[in-house]
Amino acid sequence: GTYNLEGGKLSAGNIQIQPPGGGTGTFNVMNTITTVTGDVVNYGTIKTTNAIVTWNGTFTNNGAYNSDPATQIFEGDVEVGADGYLVGASQDLFVVKGDFINQSINPDGYWNTAAATLKFAKDSSGNTIHNFSIPGEDNGDSGTNSPPTRW
Residue 54, exposed/middle/buried by CB under 10 A (0-12, 13-18, 19+)?
A: middle
Query: If you compute the radius of gyration of the chain from its CA atoms, what whole number of angstroms results?
Result: 15
Condensed to tens digits (0 to 9), the pLDDT of residues 104-129 reads 988 778 999 999 999 999 998 998 89
Among 38, 47, 2, 41, which Cα is nearest to 23's?
2
Tell me the pTM: 0.86
Condensed to tens digits (0 to 9), the pLDDT of residues 62-95 reads 999 999 999 999 999 999 999 999 999 999 999 9
